[in-house]
Amino acid sequence: MQRKGMVDALHQARSVLRPGGILIDARPDSRVLAHVEREGRRVATLRTQAAEIRDDAASDRAVAIVKRERIFRRVRAGRMWHRMPFEDRAEFDAYLREHLRFAHRGTWTAAWRAHQREWRNDPLEVVRAIRFEVLETALDR
């Protein structure tokens, strides 16, 4: 069986870690919608582009393969929240236009649409989930 992509990268990472060494796999969690907040209130959601969802699924499969092969074992896993502040709507829109992971348009709430003129210069914050898994190399390899 020929290994490709992330499975190869995980095998390579294993080759430079000592027995019992730690690898942290941390990446955006496309299973949870990112959202935009204004003053702590959710005003939009952001979808992940389809190609990124496929890449995330391939990465999940690669991690599952190396765990099944007992090259790594899970020590801990979880989710944390990554907050990205923006000065105003214009700065956020510029960021979103160039972003490769998110769809280039958010789905705005009725509250935002009703107040968008008065809120357009207010600070915004993108909040997205980051999932992580702490993996330990097998001691017998």
Secondary structure of 57-75 in HEC code, one letter for each residue: HHHHHHHHHHHHCCCEEEE
pLDDT at position 40 over 80: yes
Of the pLDDT bands very low, low, confident and very high (cuts 50, 70, 90), residue 2 is very low
The fraction of the chain above a pLDDT of 70, given in percent, is: 96
Q: What is the pLDDT of residues 8-32, one digit of tens each?
A: 888 888 888 988 999 999 999 999 9
Domain extent listing, the chain = 5-137
The residue among 114, 56, 57, 116 whose CA lies nearest residue 92 is 116
Tell me if 3 sits within 8 A of 68, measured CB to CB.
Answer: no
Reported in sequence order, the residue ranges of the chain that DSSP labels E, i.e. its strands, are: 22-28, 34-38, 41-46, 72-86, 107-108, 124-137
